[in-house]
Amino acid sequence: MNKLEYKILIVEDNDSMRNGIVSAIRKKNYSVDSSSNGKLGWEKIQKQNYNLVITDIKMPGMNGLDLFRNIKQKYPSIDVILITAYATVDIAVDAMKLGADDFITKPFSISELREKIRLCFERKISQQELSESFTTDNDLIGETECINKIKLMIEKTARTDSPVLISGESGTGKELIAQLVHSNSKRKNNKFLAINCGAISENLLESELFGHEKGSFTGAIKTHIGKFEQCNNGTLLLDEIGEMPLSLQVKLLRVLQSKTFHRVGGEKEITSNFRLIASTNRKLEDEVTKGTFRADLYYRLNVIPITAPPLRQRKEDIPLLVNYILRKKSGDLKRNIPKIQASVMRKLKSYSWPGNVRELENFLERALVFIEEDTFTDELFNFANIGNESSEESNWVPHGDLVITLEKIEREMIVNALTETRGVKQQAANLLNIKPGALYYKMEKYEIDENEY
Ligand SMILES: Nc1ncnc2c1ncn2[C@@H]1O[C@H](COP(=O)(O)OP(=O)(O)OP(=O)(O)O)[C@@H](O)[C@H]1O
Ligand SMILES: [Mg+2]
């Protein structure tokens, strides 16, 4: 945005004052408009896209404060500077608390006003740059209040270097949130690495984090650069931090305090400017109470806490997620994006998804592989054997794998036999080692159509 694109509206009832301000601002190449009272100003605001409104407080009819309230209610992104007489400074200060961006006291110099405008203009530009570089909308799917809050947290957190502690059940998107904090931060062009503290032994974890010198222990055949170092100017996610052994917790605390450390078996002090994000699906406070997690480390990590909500607490997001996942995975699988029957969507919404978004993702991926039809009907649940179609509110029994039912297999065998015998039922029955009568019966039962073989 350049100055000419930055649109300012002056609302002032005193003609000479208004004209003076307009020409002074125009000289600075902003685009300026004016109104002689609050009511006319409000009409203009509703028609045009202003970035900044500068309004006198005391005006007949709709005064500047009413105008300000209307603006903030309907167009909160418009900045407002109030012009106030000395006697009404208190009012202006109160208005600032309600979201006015600045005020200026009469009499003021033109350069004073220009300076205030410049600040608003620059703030707008930096906001715009931020929103252009901010991309979570594409990735963190959801529009419920809790997800919107997380998006805001990510945006704010990305501007800082403070440690973040992300808690939440498995599959709720903790790693995704960590990635988004990284990719929206100034560290985005450097490394983002994640390490699961629960998946490897204590010694290995230590050398993965700190690195080791060649020969520092049996098997250390060459020098290894650890994650702290690799993430210099980048971001390191310590996943399942609750699983970190106590002895390593002490060492991690020291690194966080000093930002320096030694490789295992090394003498040299190494400095690394990594940003730490930790995640956990346990309640770390409880681990602290139990004594399995150090309180001092907990407080160091928990500077910015973000809690990823379980999917069952944001069921309204399920349709958005389903559509997003189907679109993405269909592309990967090079198939058409299936449509979803309304009843199916209702059922997907009513399930509690104990494995959260990951479970939903896996479920849909399996469905995309096994169901070739262009519309997903209730058959989806039979096929996956996780549905109990009788009740809307029903909770299916979660089922890890897609169960191909015996019937499904039997049906397929019959179709194959019929295909092989070019529809000669007697031969097909022989092939299947069943009586022809049984074959007819099953063909009817499974509604096998002639054009299927
Ligand atoms: N809000 C969301 N929008 C889109 N995808 C999501 C969302 N939340 C999670 N996912 C996806 O769900 C999957 C699981 O997310 P992720 O790995 O971040 O979860 P997690 O909380 O780290 O799980 P775990 O505790 O098991 O490690 C990923 O494929 C991720 O992209
Ligand atoms: Mg994870």
Q: Are residues 249 and 289 in the same domain?
A: yes
Q: Report, as an integer, the average pLDDT of 33-44.
A: 95
Is 83 found in the same domain as 49?
yes
Q: Is the pLDDT of residue 239 over 80?
A: yes
Average pLDDT over residues 209-223: 88
How does residue 129 score in pLDDT terms, banded at 50, 70 and 90? low
Spatial separation of the C-alpha atoms in residues 204 and 279, rounded to whole Å: 20
Q: Are 306 and 150 in contact (CB under 8 A)?
A: yes
The structural domain count of the chain equals 4
Domain containing residue 344:
311-384
Query: Looking at the domain assignment, is residue 392 inside a domain?
Result: no
- Other beta carbons within 10 angstroms of residue 414's beta carbon come to 23
Query: Looking at residue 70, which CATH number applies to its domain?
Result: 3.40.50.2300
The strand ranges marked E within 286-394 are: 304-307, 339-340, 375-376
| E runs forming strands in 308-384 | 339-340, 375-376
Contact between 33 and 11 under an 8 Å Cβ cutoff? The reply is no
Residue nearest to atom 24 of ligand 1 (CA): 170
The pLDDT tens digits of the residues spanning 95-125 come to 887 788 888 998 899 999 999 999 999 888 7
Pick the atom of ligand 1 nearest to 147's CA: 1
Is residue 255 domain-shared with residue 299, that is, in the same domain? yes
Asked, for residue 397, whether it belongs to a domain, the answer is no
Same domain, 348 and 246: no
Structure confidence at residue 406 (pLDDT) = 62
**Cα separation, 66 vs 46, whole angstroms:** 15
Reported in sequence order, the residue ranges of 249-399 that DSSP labels E, i.e. its strands, are 260-261, 270-271, 275-280, 304-307, 339-340, 375-376
Same domain as 321, residue 299:
no
**Does ligand 1 come within 6 angstroms of the Cβ of 176?**
yes
- Rounded Cα distance between 439 and 297, Å, is 69
Shared domain check, 125 and 146: no
* Per-position DSSP letters for 131-199, written without gaps between them: HHH--HHHHS---SHHHHHHHHHHHHHHTS---EEEE-STTSSHHHHHHHHHHTSTTTTS-EEEEETTT
Ligand 1 atom with the shortest distance to the CA of 281: 25
- Report the pLDDT averaged over residues 27-43: 95
Taking residues 193-217, report their average pLDDT: 91
pLDDT at 87 over 90: no
Indicate the average pLDDT of the chain. Answer: 87
Query: Which of the two residues, 309 and 86, has the higher pLDDT score?
Result: 309
SS3 445: helix
Q: Cis peptide before 107, with omega less than 30 degrees from 0? A: yes
Of 307, 339, 358, which one is at a domain's C-terminal end? Answer: 307
Residue 389 lies in a domain: no
Does the pLDDT at position 404 exceed 50?
A: no
Beta-strand ranges (E) seen in 352-396 are 375-376
- Give the model's pLDDT for residue 221: 86
Res. 389 pLDDT band, cuts 50 70 90: very low
Question: Would you place residue 240 in the very low, low, confident or very high pLDDT band (cuts 50, 70, 90)?
Answer: very high
Percentage of the chain with pLDDT > 90? 60
Give residue-wise pLDDT tens across range 43-78.
999 999 899 999 999 998 899 999 999 998 888 889
What is the per-residue DSSP string for 226-286? -HHHHTTTSEEEEETGGGS-HHHHHHHHHHHHHSEE--BT--S-EE--PEEEEEESS-HHH
Task: Check residues 250 and 389 and name the one with the higher pLDDT.
Answer: 250
pTM of the model: 0.60
What average pLDDT does range 135-140 have in this prediction?
A: 58
Predicted pLDDT at 15? 95
Q: State if residue 141 touches ligand 1 by the CB under 6 angstroms criterion.
A: yes
Q: Among 159-168, 257-266, 433-442, which stretch is predicted with the lowest mean pLDDT?
A: 433-442
Judge whether residue 420 has pLDDT over 70.
Answer: yes
Instruction: State residue 395's pLDDT score.
Output: 43
The pLDDT tens digits for 164-175 are 999 999 999 999
Two structure tokens written together for 290: 């139990």
Ligand nearest to the CA of 308: 1
Residue 393 lies in a domain: no
What CATH number does residue 339 fall under?
Answer: 1.10.8.60
371 and 298 part of one domain: no
175 pocket-lining for ligand 1 (C-beta < 6 Å)? yes
**How far, in Å, CA of 372 to CA of 375, rounded?**
9
Give 301 Cα–ligand 2 centroid separation in angstroms: 17
- As a whole number, mean pLDDT of residues 139-145 equals 92
In a domain, 401, yes or no: no
Domain boundary among 350, 384, 418: 384
Q: Per the domain annotation, does 396 fall within a domain?
A: no
Q: Establish if 367 belongs to a structural domain.
A: yes
What's the 306 CA to ligand 1 centre distance in angstroms? 14
Residue 138 has pLDDT above 60, yes or no: no
Tell me if 174 CB under 6 Å of ligand 1: yes
Q: For residue 443, what is the domain's CATH number?
A: 1.10.10.60
| Cα-to-centroid distance, 99 and ligand 2 (Å) | 39
The one-letter amino acid code at 234 reads: G
392 pLDDT tier (thresholds 50, 70, 90): very low
Flag whether pLDDT at 424 surpasses 70: yes
In angstroms, how far is CA 134 from the centroid of its own chain?
11
Cα–Cα dist 441/411, whole Å: 12
pLDDT, position 137? 41
Lookup: tokens for 304: 């910015």
Spatial distance between the Cα atoms of 317 and 315, rounded to a whole number of angstroms = 5
- CB of 168 within 6 A of ligand 1: the answer is yes
Ligand 2: centre distance to CA 448 (Å): 45
Residue 258 belongs to a domain with what CATH number? 3.40.50.300
**Contact (Cβ atoms closer than 8 angstroms) between residue 79 and residue 124:** yes
Measure the CA–CA gap between 431 and 410, rounded to whole angstroms.
13
27, 168: one domain: no
Q: Is the CB of 171 under 6 A from ligand 1?
A: yes
Alpha carbons 164 and 179: distance in angstroms, whole number:
12
Residues 195 and 273 in one domain: yes
Total residue length of the chain = 453
pLDDT at 398: 37
> By alpha-carbon position, which residue is closest to atom 9 of ligand 1?
173
- Are 144 and 288 contained in the same domain? yes
Provide long-range contacts, Cβ within 8 A and 24+ apart, for 43-47: 44/9, 45/9, 45/70, 45/71, 45/75, 45/78, 46/74
Last residue of a domain, one of 307, 330, 347: 307
Residue 391 domain-assigned (yes or no): no
Q: Are residues 149 and 253 in the same domain?
A: yes
For residue 450, the Cα-to-chain-centroid distance in whole angstroms is 50
Q: How far apart are CA 347 and CA 95, in angstroms?
A: 49
pLDDT above 70: residue 396? no
Ligand 1 test: best mutation among 176, 317, 362, most atoms within 8 Å of CB? 176
Residues 105 and 163 in one domain: no
Whole-angstrom distance, CA of residue 374 vs CA of residue 163: 46
Lowest mean pLDDT segment, chosen from 158-162, 163-167, 409-413? 409-413
Nearest alpha carbon to residue 185 among 240, 226, 135, 239 = 135
